[in-house]
Amino acid sequence: MSILKLKKITRKIEFNLFKYLFKKLFFTRFVKIILLFLGFLIILVSFLFFIFKPKVPKHINYGVNFSNKYATELGLNWKQAYLQILDDLQVKNIRLVAYWDEIEPVNNQYDFSNIQWQVEEAQKRDINIILAIGQKVPRYPECHAPSWWNNIPAKSERQKELNQYIKKTVQQFKTYDAVKIWQVENEPFFPFGECKKITLEDLKNEVSLVRSLDSTKPILIQDSGEGGLWFPSYKFADYLGISMYRRIWYNFWNILLGKFIYFKYPLAHWTYRIKALVVGIPYKKIIVTELQAEPWGPGSNAILSQEEKDKTMSKHKFLTTITYAQQAGFNTLYFWGVEWWLFEKDKKNNPYFWNTAKALILN
């Protein structure tokens, strides 16, 4: 037998063996079930996408977040920055923070001057306010409880003090017409920030307290738009606030052995609609309270190099993030990073972000 003929026979045997193994692998009952399930899943997702595909609203309510702490961190005069935001950007919606450590730096000694000035200036201009209260509120390290509170050993005593701060704050601002929504805690169940654990029962009690003090205003609770479960936060609220981040610099809870990486969330804009459907939350009850509009990098945005800033928020990324949020179909979007826009404009001679957002807000 020639070598050529032997090779042909060998290849035929190998091919027949491959066919046999292929049939064995892919035509067993178990594999058939898996393939049928995957096929069903693909068809279901496709069906949901075409039926519930979000549409860009004809009118979007734009707002901004403001933190006097963050403005100060960037080297801005926070009061001047705030007035520029109100008068130059001419925002009609703003989310403000009643920082507990500023309000009650010493136990039972209350000072509402910072947040009251912000609320009153907004009210003069008929601007709608979401006012965030609680131990966990916007801006890192997320939890802004006073140091004396953190040193109280008994949880029951800490809860009493927290409730007292909430009570005083609601009583202080419930008569302001500009305050439209109370936000109670910020991402209470999402493991981000330097915080004491908040339980479902804790949140329920805090919301009940706010409702008992002011039954006229709805309550919002925020969860992570990317990694949160949503429903536990929405369970006691009238509105769910969510974050919407596209590109971050993070170490994912030390899963990567403390190594930080740049990461882009692989979520299509329509996944928010599907998630809302799955967890049973009406889309009109969801507000994007944190739309990423500033960099997230290894350090304060005041000291990041241009190269580092561009990795998560270049001019192009700014526009694509806004387009992404619009395509997600939400009626209300609050930008996260207005203080940085002002920093870039006034300190870096880069008015692009400020002017672009201004044109959008005033449109």
Give the CATH number for residue 277. 3.20.20.80
Same domain, 99 and 133: yes
Q: Do 194 and 340 sit in the same domain of this protein?
A: yes
Look at the chain and report how many structural domains it folds into: 2
Average pLDDT over residues 63-68: 98
Whether residues 293 and 149 share a domain: the answer is yes
Residue 24 and residue 85 in one domain: no
> Are 34 and 97 in the same domain?
no
Q: Whole-angstrom distance between the N-terminal and C-terminal Cα of the chain?
A: 85
Kindly state whether residues 68 and 47 are assigned to the same domain: no
Q: Please state the separation of Cα 2 from the chain's center in Å.
A: 72
Question: Quick one: 103 and 34 in the same domain?
Answer: no
- Say whether both 162 and 36 belong to one domain: no
Q: Which of 29-33, 143-147, 194-198 has the highest mean pLDDT?
A: 143-147
Mean pLDDT, the chain, integer:
91
User: Are residue 29 and residue 65 in the same domain, yes or no?
Assistant: no
Using alpha carbons only, how large is the chain's radius of gyration in Å?
26
DSSP states along 257-270:
TT--EEEE----TT
pLDDT digits (tens, 9 = 90+) for 165-186: 999 999 999 999 999 999 999 9
- The pLDDT, as a whole number, for residue 321 is 98
Domain identity same for 11 and 70: no
Q: For residue 48, what are the domain limits?
A: 1-52
* Of the residues 17, 33, 52, the one at which a domain ends: 52
pTM of model > 0.75: yes
* In a shared domain, residues 251 and 269: yes
Q: How many CB atoms lie within 10 A of CB 346?
A: 18
The backbone torsions φ and ψ at residue 291, rounded to the nearest 5 degrees and listed phi first, read: -95, 115
pLDDT tens-place string over residues 237-293: 999 999 999 999 998 877 777 889 999 999 999 999 999 999 999 999 999 999 999
For residues 202 and 151, give the distance between their C-alpha atoms in angstroms, rounded to a whole number. Answer: 19
Domain boundary pick from 52, 75, 92: 52
Number of residues written out for the chain: 363
181 touches 222 (CB < 8 A): no
Q: pLDDT-based confidence at 21, cuts 50/70/90? A: low
One domain, residues 81 and 31: no
